[in-house]
Structure 1
Amino acid sequence: MNPIPVSVVVVSRGRPDALTRCLTGVAQLDYGAFEVIVVADPQGLSAMATLPFAAQIKAVPFDEANISKSRNLGIAQAAGEVVAFVDDDAVPETGWLFHLVAPFAEEEVAAAGGFVRGRNGISMQWRAQSVDHAGRTLPLAVDSTRPVVLHSVPGRAVKTEGTNMAVRRSILAEMGGFDPAFRYFLDETDLNWRLAKGGFATGIVPLAEVHHGFLANAQRTGARVPRDLSEIGASVAVFLAKHCPAEDHTTAWKAFRAGQRQRLLRHMVRGDAMPGDVGRLMRGLDKGYLEGQTRESGALAPIPRAPDGFRAFRREKAGGVVLAGRAWRRRGLRRQAERLVAQGKVPSLFLFSPTTLYHRVRYDPAGYWEQSGGLFGRSERTQRLFRLTRFSKRLSREIQRVAPQRLLENNGGSAAE
């Protein structure tokens, strides 16, 4: 059976290094039929041009702070049956598309979303959720090893995250894509509700994982401290006007505002923000909310078919390989990983020290995955604090932990103590 053609859309503004790292990971996806579309500012497109596979990418210049408009430009160039989205400060696991696209074999499925790991590469930043008319989310209990197709229920829509989601192009284009009134925040949540109102089903795919960094942008610092809350306030106003009963607007806004103030106070207690920042940012939130009430958000025009055909991304299928060793051998093993990348392979490097240090996973810009930590320490944070084990047994257990997402074979590669 031929794979469903997928268009992968990456939008970027002001983060050229993150973009090239993301695209290096996208280029290693183990999937038979996908194209790559990048919507970026001049700085991002210049950085992208240095990549060896840049000629295979559909490049769309755009330098405006509006993520919905950016994504819509990507949809306009997409010729795949499904459009997948990943943020520039994220990197997908090698098997991301393989898993994410699986639910679309069922005709009722209009969208799908995967799980998102946070900065340490282990803890989950986002799992399965539903969302109500006020934009408040609740967790959904799903099997963490297999996809599930869900329908919305009265008062709640199935939630997907913009950094790890896919939508059937025919439906997405007919709906007009994302609403440009959401320049930042709640853009995908608005789409979730529009899909729910249309009666469409959504697949939740736990093994379709991306690693998300939450890098700095115009709205937040690298420590996730807000720089400005006006766009968030504006998006809340637009969302409530579109999806929340009018009699609940005031209550919903007060609850959201209180939550934002508590968030800022926590940053202040930790020393990430000054006392004066709280008042300034809250004033910006209120100003944005008032401005958002004046934004137009009507019916969206359908997005036409892509003028160019499907530009399949070509790479020789090489598969993943495993490298492992003691932490003090890291320099030599990293050089070996880089040589394997040059040969077209996707290395997973495991570095263990004789400690109980918690594990971390990162994707190196050179094109390989690296997991480091104590031989006796935790990887998943629910594990015991200490577990006595041999090197080979721990390595086998960690390979098994990531193999489904990364499409690794347990016996691939080489290992040395």
Structure 2
Amino acid sequence: MTRPSVSVVVVSRDRPDALTRCITGLSQVQYDPFEIVVVADPAGIEAVKKMACSDDVKVVAFDQANISAARNAGVVAAAGDVVAFIDDDAVPEPTWLHYLIAPFEQSDVAASGGFVIGRNGISFQWKARLINALGHSEPIEVAEDKATVLRAPTGYAVKTEGTNMAVRRDILVELGGFDPAYHFYLDETDLNMRLARAGHATAICPRAQVHHGFAASVRRRPDRAPSDLFDIGASWAVFARKFIVDTAQDAHWKDVQTSERKRLLSHMVTGRLEPRQVRYLMKRLRAGHAEGGVRPVGANQVTRHASDGFKRFPVVARHTHFELSTLRGAAAAREAAKVRVKNAQIVTLIILSRTAMYHHVQFNPAGFWEQKGGQFGKSLRNERIFQWARAKARKKKEMERVAIVRQV
């Protein structure tokens, strides 16, 4: 069976460095055929132009603070059978599309979603979830060694994450794409609800993994404290109008305010917010909700045919290499890793200190994975704090931990 062609849409605004890193990661994805569609502001477009692969990337100019409209612009440009989405502050594992797209071999699968790894590069931020009738997510258990195809129970929808999801292009056209009434937040949740109402199946693919960085934005500071809640309030108002019965909307809004205030107070306790900032943010939440109550709603029409032909990204078959280093030799090891990347290798550099420090993983902008931690420290957060191991044995353990998603 011929593999579906895939268009990977990346929306970027005010984060050119993160976008460059994301595209570097996408350039190592082992799937063919796929294309990269970047929907970006002027700074993002300039960043793409500076990359060696710039001629192989579709670029769509878009300079509005509306992620739904931006994604629709990406869908219009996308010529693949399936459209995948990843955020500009995320990086995929090399096998990402291999696992995310495999379920589409079943004709009844309309969408798929994978697991998302958080800022430490090891722990999962999001796994499998359902959305209930009030728009809140609930975790569910699925097999973690294979994809699970789900049809949500009545009143529920299967949750996919905007930074790690894929949808058949013809289904996106059928549903009208994303609803521009959601400038930010709940945009993919709205699509999930409409997919469920239309009776479509969604696959959850645990091994389709991306690392999500939670980069700073106009709505979120580098320490993850919110800087504005206007769009969150507006999006909840839109969601309620579309999916929550009138008699339950007031109680739902009270619950949202209580939840957001609790979140803000937790930031205040840790010193990330001051009391006056909490009051301001709650005021912005309420102002957004008022505007969301009168915004025009309804999914925007995306074109049945792409605006341009399929721009196949040149996939380089890469070998996987794991390298062990000490802190003292880390600088030289990083330089060697850069050379290996240029020689078509997927490189994981494991830098161990003679400590029990927790492990962290990040994707270096030069194109290699870097894992740092103590030789006796834990990587998975549910492990023992101290683990005796020789350096080579520790390297082998970490290789085995990630091989299924990084080994190609």
Distance in structure 1 (CA, Å) of the matches to 2:137 and 2:233: 17
Aligned to 2:107: 107
Distance in structure 2 (CA, Å) of the matches to 1:174 and 1:199: 13
Identity of aligned residues (%): 48
Q: Is this contact kept in 2: 1:113–1:203, CA < 8 A?
A: yes
Aligned-pair CA distance for 1:302 = 4.3
Aligned-pair CA distance for 1:184 = 0.3
Aligned to 1:277: 277
Aligned to 2:130: 130
Distance in structure 1 (CA, Å) of the matches to 2:106 and 2:392: 41
Aligned to 1:379: 379
Aligned to 2:151: 151
1:65 partner amino acid: A
How big is each residue's C-alpha offset from its partner over 1:141-170, in whole Å with a ceiling of 9 and x where there is no partner? 111221101111022111000000000111
Aligned to 1:304: 304
Aligned-pair CA distance for 1:100 = 0.5
Secondary structure of the residue aligned to 1:338 is: helix
Give the direction of change, closer, same or farther, for the CA distance of 1:36–1:218 in structure 2 (3 Å limit).
same
Q: Is this contact kept in 1: 2:32–2:315, CA < 8 A?
A: no
1:303 partner amino acid: T
Q: Does 1:325 find its partner at 2:325?
A: yes
Secondary structure of the residue aligned to 1:101 is: helix
Aligned-pair CA distance for 1:344 = 2.3
Aligned-pair CA distance for 1:326 = 2.0
Q: Does 1:76 find its partner at 2:69?
A: no
Q: Is this contact kept in 2: 1:133–1:240, CA < 8 A?
A: no
Distance in structure 2 (CA, Å) of the matches to 1:322 and 1:299: 46
Distance in structure 2 (CA, Å) of the matches to 1:171 and 1:303: 12
Matches within 5 A, 1:48-63: 48-63=48-63
Secondary structure of the residue aligned to 2:328 is: helix
1:128 partner amino acid: A
2:296 partner amino acid: E
Q: Is this contact kept in 2: 1:30–1:319, CA < 8 A?
A: no
Aligned to 2:227: 227
How big is each residue's C-alpha offset from its partner over 1:282-336, in whole Å with a ceiling of 9 and x where there is no partner? 0110111011010111354342311321111003212221111222211111000
Q: Does 1:37 find its partner at 2:25?
A: no
Matches within 5 A, 1:213-362: 213-298=213-298, 300-362=300-362
Task: Single out whichever of 134-143 and 300-309 deviates more from structure 2.
Answer: 300-309
Secondary structure of the residue aligned to 1:322 is: strand
Name structure 1 gaps, 5 residues minimum. Answer: 409-417
Aligned to 2:402: 402
How many residues of Structure 1 are paired with residues of Structure 2 in the alignment? 408
Q: Is this contact kept in 2: 1:182–1:235, CA < 8 A?
A: yes
Distance in structure 2 (CA, Å) of the matches to 1:366 and 1:352: 20
Aligned to 1:411: none
TM-score if structure 1 supplies the norm length? 0.96
How big is each residue's C-alpha offset from its partner over 1:89-147, in whole Å with a ceiling of 9 and x where there is no partner? 00001100001001111111111000111111011111111111221111011112211
Matches within 5 A, 1:4-19: 4-19=4-19
Q: Is this contact kept in 1: 2:30–2:316, CA < 8 A?
A: no
1:207 partner amino acid: R
2:37 partner amino acid: I
2:238 partner amino acid: V
Aligned-pair CA distance for 1:2 = 3.1
Aligned-pair CA distance for 1:29 = 0.3
Distance in structure 1 (CA, Å) of the matches to 2:145 and 2:394: 21
Q: Runs ≥4 in structure 1, deviation > 3 angstroms?
A: none
2:390 partner amino acid: R
Q: Is this contact kept in 1: 2:72–2:302, CA < 8 A?
A: no
2:280 partner amino acid: R
Q: Is this contact kept in 1: 2:15–2:44, CA < 8 A?
A: yes
TM-score if structure 2 supplies the norm length? 0.98
Q: Is this contact kept in 2: 1:318–1:344, CA < 8 A?
A: yes
Aligned-pair CA distance for 1:390 = 1.8
Secondary structure of the residue aligned to 1:144 is: coil
How big is each residue's C-alpha offset from its partner over 1:356-394, in whole Å with a ceiling of 9 and x where there is no partner? 110000000000001111111110101111121122221
Q: Is this contact kept in 1: 2:35–2:312, CA < 8 A?
A: yes
Distance in structure 1 (CA, Å) of the matches to 2:387 and 2:43: 47
Distance in structure 1 (CA, Å) of the matches to 2:203 and 2:213: 24
Distance in structure 2 (CA, Å) of the matches to 1:345 and 1:217: 33
Q: Is this contact kept in 1: 2:30–2:315, CA < 8 A?
A: no
Distance in structure 2 (CA, Å) of the matches to 1:218 and 1:238: 21
